[in-house]
Amino acid sequence: MSLVSTLVVLLLCAWCAILLVYRRRLLRLWREPMLAAPVLIIESDDWGPGPASHVAALERLIELLARHRDAWGRAAVMTIGAVLAIADTAAIRAGEISCYRRQRLCDSDGVAMREVLLAGRARGVLALQLHGMEHYWPQSLLTAARRDAEVRDWLETAAGSDTERLPSALQSRWTDVTTLPSRPLPEAEIRAAVAEEVACFETSFGTRPLVAVPPTFVWTEQVERAWAEAGVRVIITPGRRLTGRDRAGQPGGCDRDILNGERGAGGVRYLVRDLYFEPALGHRPERLCDELARHFALGRPALIETHRFNFTGEQAESAYAALETLLEQARARWPGLRFMSAEALAAGQATGAEWLVRDRARRLEVWLRRAARVDRLRKLAWLSGLALPAWALLAVLGAWRRGEEHG
């Protein structure tokens, strides 16, 4: 065998080895639903029992969203990660922090908030998702309050709705943070808590939750299974499952990474929310639109995280303006933009909606783009020369598609 043919064989062997090592990842990227249309979903968490100003903020958001329509006449949708109860801080103080007391959204004090959420749902601009009974595990809160001055101060001075002010680790609901690193909660307690929050959601809104958003994105397979058994079909994720808090109180314990459309315990479907729009923290619409472009080029939906605090805090005015600008710019840049709920997105992906890519050549193009975004694979591909045929194929597929689009 000549030197040239030996080198060619070695090169081909190297390429095969790379593809073999990454075969699972590549297969998952191929199976991940590919969207032919740009889909934009704004996901806003933490709304629940609170003062009248929070109700007014939602009323204003509903009007703002309703003004923006996609080409099919559908209004912009904001999914609401609903918190169903807050600490009744006055009652807990009166009991000298010996036992937990809550105010629920379905109690009489929650009427105005419930009504605005239901009105937004009826107009098709709000989609209600389960964030949790509380934004913490109540027993962890009580234990912390007995020994931590910061938490005791929160119980003594904060309205129960201000959970953003609690220490970060305490805001995770599905892990025991009484000591760090956190420990798993007993499964029986998880199941009871899930049954309770799902029932409370149904009492509050008249329907069972189909979509769940784990607070701080810390949850476990046990939680997932309990949700699935209670009727939850979709879990919003950041692209990986973090199961606890580490020694420093940071989210950790990743036990799987996640792509859109993959299945979890009990058959739940995952969606990935990995775009962030918190105007109060300085996030700008122009920058976000560039990130949307990158997502759409990969056939992925844009699930954008934004929290209640943007629209209820001191900088609320600029947050409304930024949201308005974002929706205007996105509609102008993508005339085929689609607004829908996370639930509708997951259902469409599962049942083969018309906005999915079916054409094999187009799927191959999207798949190559996705593969090129896998960090180490990209480096190895360039080092080994595998990137050259991939790049050439991508160029041919792109030219062919553009020819079809214009012809």
List interacting residues with Zn ion (CB under 5 A): 45-46, 215
Nearer residue to Zn ion within complex by CB, 131 or 369: 131
Element (H, E) at 271: strand 269-272
Indicate the angle between helix axes 360-372 and 387-406, nearest 10 degrees.
140
* Least CB distance to Zn ion at residue 46 (A): 4
* Least CB distance to Zn ion at residue 81 (A): 6
| Cα distance between residue 348 and residue 339, in whole Å | 13
* Least CB distance to Zn ion at residue 67 (A): 26
ω before 181 within 30° of 0 (cis)? yes
* Least CB distance to Zn ion at residue 250 (A): 16
Sign of the torsion angle spanned by Cα atoms 136, 250, 150, 152: positive
Question: What residue number has its CB nearest to Zn ion?
Answer: 45
Q: How many CB atoms lie within 10 A of CB 340?
A: 25
Which residues make beta-bridge pairs with 308?
none
Contact call for residues 11 and 384 (beta carbons, < 8 A): yes
Nearer residue to Zn ion within complex by CB, 45 or 88: 45
Which residues make beta-bridge pairs with 102?
87
* Least CB distance to Zn ion at residue 45 (A): 4
Nearer residue to Zn ion within complex by CB, 135 or 369: 135
Q: How many CB atoms lie within 10 A of CB 285?
A: 19
| Cα distance between residue 177 and residue 290, in whole Å | 38
Residue 286's Cβ-count burial label (10 Å; 0-12, 13-18, 19+) is exposed
Contact call for residues 355 and 90 (beta carbons, < 8 A): no
Nearer residue to Zn ion within complex by CB, 223 or 330: 223
* Least CB distance to Zn ion at residue 131 (A): 6
Q: Which contacts of 87-90 are long-range, i.e. CB under 8 A and separated by 24 or more positions?
A: 87/134, 87/138, 87/141, 87/155, 87/160, 88/160, 89/155, 89/156, 89/158, 89/159, 89/160
Nearer residue to Zn ion within complex by CB, 45 or 365: 45
Strand 78-83 vs strand 275-276: parallel, antiparallel, or unpaired?
unpaired
Nearer residue to Zn ion within complex by CB, 168 or 203: 168
* Least CB distance to Zn ion at residue 397 (A): 41
SS3 call for 5:
helix
Amino acid at 274: D
Nearer residue to Zn ion within complex by CB, 37 or 84: 84
* Least CB distance to Zn ion at residue 52 (A): 21
Nearer residue to Zn ion within complex by CB, 46 or 176: 46
Nearer residue to Zn ion within complex by CB, 76 or 236: 236
Amino acid at 364: L
Element (H, E) at 252: strand 251-257
* Least CB distance to Zn ion at residue 54 (A): 14
